[in-house]
Structure 1
Amino acid sequence: MPKSRIRKKADFTPPPSKTTAIKFKSGRGYVAPLMLALFLIGLAWIVVFYVSATKLPIETLGNWNIVVGFGFIAGGFVVSTQWK
């Protein structure tokens, strides 16, 4: 019986890759500075409240000054969701 012919597979050549430049410009340049500013304002609010023995920043708020400080920090986290 005759021997069958062996088929040789072509070597695999990957398709040419498309090199594209990474685009970082998103048009939201305000997000990072605003986020950091809110974090720092909130932190400074809480620190000033404790260092001044609850007299500053707003004495009439009393312990609610802590909530205001954490509100600024929470605002920073909300703004950080827009960062790309």
Structure 2
Amino acid sequence: MPKSKVRKKPEVTGGSRSATRQQAYVEPSSPLYVTVMLGFMLLGLVWLLVYYLAQNHIAFIGALGAWNFLIGFGLMIVGLLMTMRWR
């Protein structure tokens, strides 16, 4: 049986491939950013804990009702969204 022709792959120039692999240096986040990020997550957790434990004793938290879940989880989500920008 005859052998099929072997085709050569086109050569890639060095400039285009090295440009895609090279990334710019990104400075790490400041400690203040990390503190605020963790603060939002912990504040949301504390808000929900206070709501469950002291809703009958603190008037304005009891008056918010189910909005406390939005506030607590909203604060935690803000902290989690900040983790995407953390370097």
- TM-score, normalised on structure 2? 0.59
Structure 1 CA distance for aligned equivalents of residues 42 and 29 of structure 2: 24
Q: CA deviation at 1:82?
A: 1.1
- Could you say what the CA RMSD is over the residues aligned between the two structures, in angstroms? 2.4
Match for residue 65 of structure 2?
Answer: 62
Amino acid across the alignment from 1:46:
L
Gaps of 5+ in 2: 1-24
- Please say which structure displays the higher CA radius of gyration: 1
Q: CA deviation at 1:55?
A: 5.0
Between Structure 1 and Structure 2, the one with more helix by share is 2
Moved over 6 A (4+): none
Structure 2 CA distance for aligned equivalents of residues 42 and 53 of structure 1: 15
- TM-score, normalised on structure 1? 0.60
Instruction: Confirm whether residue 80 of structure 1 aligns to residue 86 of structure 2.
Output: no
Q: Secondary structure at the residue paired with 2:85?
A: coil
How many residues are aligned here?
62
Task: Indicate if the aligned counterparts of 1:49 and 1:55 stay in contact, CA closer than 8 A.
Answer: no
Amino acid across the alignment from 2:32:
Y
Match for residue 18 of structure 1?
Answer: none
Task: Indicate if the aligned counterparts of 1:39 and 1:73 stay in contact, CA closer than 8 A.
Answer: yes
Gaps of 5+ in 1: 1-22
Percent of aligned positions that are identical: 29
Instruction: Confirm whether residue 52 of structure 1 aligns to residue 54 of structure 2.
Output: yes
